[in-house]
Amino acid sequence: MKYELKELNINMGIAEYKMYQDIPLKESGSTNLCNGLPYEVFKNYLESQLARKY
């Protein structure tokens, strides 16, 4: 299996969304805030995270 590290961007789509759904909500001291979000809300999450960066 090939992995690639990508920076968050607004063009992320269903493939990235599915990846986040496969990652447990809590694991190894980290929290996946996207786990369980509907796809439409995932897009809003991306926007909010990008706004925090800039």
Can you give the pLDDT at residue 54? 72
Can you give the pLDDT at residue 28? 79
Distance of CA 52 to the CA centre of its chain: 15
Can you give the pLDDT at residue 21? 94
Tallying the residues shown for the chain, one arrives at 54
User: Within the chain, which residues score under 50 in pLDDT?
Assistant: none
pTM of the model: 0.77
Do 45 and 37 meet the contact criterion of CB atoms below 8 Å apart?
yes
Can you give the pLDDT at residue 53? 80
